[in-house]
Amino acid sequence: MPWLSILMGVSVLGALGVTLVRNDKLAKQFTLGVSLIVLALAIAMAVQFSPNGDKFQFTEKYDWIPALGVHYAVGVDGIALVLILLSVVLVPIVVLASWHDAEAGKRSVRTYFSLMLVLEAMMIGVFAATDVFLFYVFFEAMLIPMYFMIGSYGGAQRSYAAVKFLLYSLFGGLLMLVAVIALYTIAGKGTFMFPDLVGTIQDVNTQKWLFLGFFIAFAIKAPLWPFHTWLPDAAAQAPAGAAVLLVGVLDKVGTYGMLRFCLELFPDASKFFTPMVITLSVIGIVYGAIVAIGQTDMKRLIAYTSVSHFGFIALGVFAMTTNAGAGATLYMVNHGFSTGALFLIAGFLIQRRGSQFIADYGGVQKVAPVLAGTFLVAGLSSLSLPGLSTFVSEFMVLVGTYEKYLVPAAIATTGVILAAIYILWMYQRTMNGPTAESVKHLPDLNAREKWVVAPLIALLLVFGFYPKPLLDVIHPAVKNTLSSVPATDPAPAVQVAKEAQ
């Protein structure tokens, strides 16, 4: 069965359907229904995935522009599969969370939900594409629904943020386009199929240039320091749901691209640039965390924590050890849940009080204990508390990096201290202390909002204690990727018996 096309097709048809529904409430329910169907289909697909089978599974390949060797070709390996699952899990949650988000402005409510489904199809497509050109098309096309979601439904400075987001991403995309065309020409294979292009560029200097073309696009998308400044603006102005999809999924395309395209297509260049990328990542981890501490706006603060987290992911990708690579992939998934929860709950809070500024809150715990409790759990997941899934991934990234790059890993570990400071300080200023006059009558989470938060927290907890199902899927894919680089794990200084491990 062409699972991946079905997933995308259902989302697109759903998006069209939403625009036809005349009633706003019905449109929302319809959107939710469609996203749940997509989720169910994706799960049905995932259970048929065999981790140790072919590299790409559920593959489909049709000619699109035969003259240029462009195909509509999709397929997933373990890495893409978990990211697709992340996307389809987040969409229904975001739909439910955004129930009333689009109603404040004058724009059409239906369009907002329709855009969300369009975005879902593109998110699936971008992770599933096995044709480099198709990937590029999705990579750029994703910007459009997100541009409208920010620009039409966002906060006061939405157009500034949306344009900045669009231009910044387009700039990166253009560099990538040049590199894609150059890759096609230099490889001389007459095809854009990713598996056929692996290993075709032998010359190291060519690899370096092409690597940069791809890498800068991904670094902007991710975003990696110093290409990050569009994110706080975009995330702060976007409605909470759009911010979740932006930071939770769209940005993952950047780190996913590094792992999939940079490493496999340009292995020598990746190794050459590893010191640079690791330096940028470590700077990003520490810098993002420090700037987050100094923020006064809740959503900007969360955005900066993501800059720090993306540093961890890039670090894991470029450490090129099994643990770090698998950790980075898992990190992408967990970060989606964790930041998703944080953005959504902060969104609930902001919606109630009508202010994003931390200083406008205080003592919310007293009046809305469930809201505060879930906010704390989400916050703790952001600071990677053991027992929550983010810890597993951060630990794996750091352990894996430490095996090869001792000092960068040690510096990155200071992130755990800084994370405690930015999360707990924000929590203290908003939730603790005497209850501020303006929040005295804040209602606690209602049933719909609890249903939004519950699955996220459940996922964080379950994968915190039992990450094996995800890791079983990710491990073979990462090993496969690293073996094509090739990169090997350093051996231990002292070998101990296998049982003792």
Partner 1 sequence: MEPAEIIQHSGGVIGASWLMIALPLLGAAVLLLGGRKTDKFGHLLGVAMAVASFVVAALAFIQLLGFAPGERRRGVELYDLIPGIAKVGLLVDPLSISFCLLITFVGSLIHIYSIGYMAHDPARRRFFAYLNLFVAAMLVLVLADNYLGLYVGWEGVGLASYLLIGFWQHKPTAATAAKKAFIVNRVGDFGLSIGIFTIFATFHSLSYQGVAEGMAKGGSIPATAIGLLLLLGACGKSAQLPLQSWLLDAMEGPTPVSALIHAATMVTAGVYLVVRSGPIFQATDTAQLVVTIVGVATLLAGAIIGTAKDDIKKALAGSTMSQIGYMMLAAGIGPAGYAFAIAHLITHGFFKADMFLGAGSVMHGMNDEVNMRKYGGLRKVMPITFVTFFIGYLAIIGFPLLSGYFTKDGIIETAMEHNAILGWLAVLGAGITGFYMSRLVFMTFFGKKRWEADAHPHESPAVMTWPLIILSIGAIVLGAFLILGNRFMLFLSPAVGRPEELPSFHPFSTTGLATLALVAVGVVFAWYRYGSAEVPGVAPRGSFLTAFARRDLYGDALNEALLMRPGQWLTRLAVYFDNRGVDGLVNSLAALIGGSSGRLRRIQTGYVRSYALSIFVGAAVLVGAWFVVGNL
Yes or no: say if 131 and 73 are a contact pair by the CB < 8 Å rule: yes
199 binds partner 1 (CB under 8 A): no
Number of helices and strands in the chain (H, E)? 22, 2
Mask for 358-377, x = binds partner 1 (CB under 8 A): -----x-xx---x--x----
What letters, b where the CB count within 10 A reaches 16 and e where it falls short, cover 281-319? bbebbbbbbebbbebebbbbbbbbbbbbbbbbbbbbbbb
- Residue 203 interacting with partner 1 (CB under 8 A): no
Closest CA to 382 of 491, 460, 296, 496: 460
Q: How far is the CB of 219 from partner 1 (least distance, A)?
A: 13
50 binds partner 1 (CB under 8 A): no
Contact 229, 163 (CB under 8 A): no
Residue 213 is encoded by which pair of tokens? 């073309």
Position 21 contacts partner 1 (CB under 8 A):
no
424 in contact with partner 1 (CB under 8 A): yes
Sign of the torsion formed by the C-alpha atoms of 234, 237, 238 and 244: positive
**43 contributes a contact to partner 1 by CB under 8 A:** no
CA 38 – CA 36 distance, rounded (Å): 5
Paired tokens of 383: 């600071």
Decide if residue 179 touches partner 1 (CB under 8 A): no
Eight-class DSSP state of 107: S
Q: How far is the CB of 444 from partner 1 (least distance, A)?
A: 10
The residue within the footprint of partner 1, chosen from 291, 303, 315, 349 (CB under 8 A), is 291
- CA 224, 79, 347, 360 dihedral sign is negative
Residue pointed to by tokens 């943020």? 161
Beta bridge partners of 60: 74
Which CB atom, from 191 or from 295, has the smaller least distance to partner 1? 295
Query: Which of 158, 252, 335, 475 lies at the binding interface for partner 1 (CB under 8 A)?
Result: 475
The answer to whether residue 189 forms part of the interface with partner 1 (CB under 8 A) is no
| Of the residues 467, 473, 476, 487, which one makes contact with partner 1 according to CB under 8 A | 467
Q: Which residues have a Cβ under 8 Å from the Cβ of 369 and sit 6 or more positions away?
A: 444
**How far is C-alpha 124 from the chain's CA centre?**
12
What is the nearest approach in angstroms of partner 1 to the Cβ of residue 457? 10
Choose which of 47, 434, 437, 447 interacts with partner 1 (CB under 8 A). Answer: 434
Question: Closest approach of Cβ 189 to partner 1, in Å?
Answer: 36
- The nearest distance, CB 8 to partner 1, in angstroms, is 32
* Residues making contact with partner 1 (CB under 8 A): 164, 167-168, 225-226, 228-230, 287, 290-291, 293-295, 322-323, 363, 365-366, 370, 373, 380, 385-387, 391-392, 395-396, 398-399, 402-403, 406, 409-410, 413-414, 416-417, 420-421, 424-425, 428, 431-435, 465-468, 471-472, 475, 490-497, 500-501
